[in-house]
Chain A
């Protein structure tokens, strides 16, 4: 992160402090979705999920409309992590967002693997550790023209030395609408995640074609989706693009 001029810091702390802010703690909840028995992905292939878990956190809510390095100080933050069962639509308590009252206009978060400037490898938070050091675990079955294809995937979503060390991996897009006035007594914030977009662009037909005869009449063992496959990249890219639904004023 770029260093800021001392003069600016003096100005910010001595003369420009925002008046009227009050410390708040906002309950944070997370939930998955009810996806039903099967849902279609690329080329209409029906997929059934037996397990879909996401390591979520930390989460930062920022005053400016653009998170990232333009959000030096978060207005609200939750520095922990939790596993979200993406197949369970019941809201579960994740923790408490801590910060001050005022308007939030952007967000940024990690998926259990959080990067710090001083280390090449991200910190593996407890939720990701519980998932085996990754952000997403998916297990299910696809039906490709009558051939059952059981599969599993374990995908880390993280910064590397070749990307933006120190920055959260997911940030609000500028074409998204996100704004809320955080007040004292804020009931709670619910984030709802949907696993379906994660598999939306997976080409299961190509995946079984790569297996040769092993899956000609149905795969005997679950296919573990490997890096360097279209399926892996499709899940990884979708994880970057998918966003939870934010609901303010939530009470369990």
Chain B
């Protein structure tokens, strides 16, 4: 948890002390909500190899060049009377690599009843009326809108002694490439120290209800403005599973993506990822726990889409239900 998250958690706890359960439904003035879009530190700084919790455990370094997301559809409900609701329906196409570390203010809701509210938001399709933020080029925006993408993530995997060990049945290594060893599954490995990836994915997802440290939503002070953040995590792509709360027991692993460079050209493509299943990759072993993905998984591309659908958080490390039904509308 970073300093911002700790501050928000404390504020949330303090607010609980003055707003008793079930007792905040009396009208007591109105206030406003300001919603920030926030990028997890790893999106900005990348992921380093090492043994710490947020390190990549298998020696690779990950850097992101673009981390574009389509986000919006802020939807809040008064906790003791769900019929009282407010929305900021705008969606924006934003490059998280370019936004201020303190967050980017994108949505304002005024005239909210003072008290405690539930918070929901969505990752949507760029082709559904989203607005381009200045952090995104027109070309990227057109690409995403044309394909109705929700994410465009580009980056690089590097490791001095990096190799790709594509499954032998699917490998298309150049004829002049010479193998140097093999992996646990007996697949030949080829030197591949720098591998780029470009993931344009449709992974529409709703997030909410959201909570932080067990407290749902946010409180609106009478006559004041509350600020909350929709936080996008960037390391889930490399998670070894789908944790639903505490991420401390989760490993970040990259070799499986390096092995998906089937033709050893230094670029992993959607076609390569969609052409193999997780069972084809020896790296997807007992270290991976696949029992609770948000969608059904068959191909490696499905795995990436599933991980993208888990990246929405609240106030830093707070959790949100993924595609929950708690705020469905007719």
Contacts and interface: CB of A to CB of B under 8 A. Distances in A.
B49 interface: no
Given A5-B214, A171-B291, A228-B285, A163 B249 contact: yes
B214 A4 contact: yes
B323 A174 contact: yes
Interface stretch (B16-24, B64-72, B91-99, B222-230): B16-24
Contact of B321 (A65, A173, A175, A227): A65
A162 to B, nearest CB: 5
Given A228-B184, A233-B278, A7 B244 contact: no
B48 interface: no
Interface string B13-48: 100110011110000000000000000000000000
A225 to B, nearest CB: 12
B251 A162 contact: yes
Given A5-B214, A16-B21, A233 B282 contact: yes
Classify the secondary structure of A's interface with B: loop
Interface residues of B, number: 53
B249 A64 contact: no
A70 B322 contact: no
Interface stretch (A25-33, A85-93, A234-242): A234-242
B215 interface: yes
B238 to A, nearest CB: 14
Contacts of B243: 68-69, 164, 167
Given A15-B22, A228-B185, A68 B292 contact: yes
Interface residues of A, number: 49
Interface in B295-318: 295-298, 309
Given A11-B20, A69-B245, A162 B279 contact: no
B125 interface: no
A70 B208 CA distance: 12
A1 interface: yes
Interface of A: 1-2, 4-5, 7-8, 11-12, 15-16, 64-70, 105, 108, 157, 159-165, 167-175, 201, 203, 206, 210, 227-230, 233-234, 237, 240-241
Interface of B: 13, 16-17, 20-23, 167, 169, 184-186, 213-215, 240-241, 243-246, 249-251, 277-282, 284-298, 309, 319, 321-326
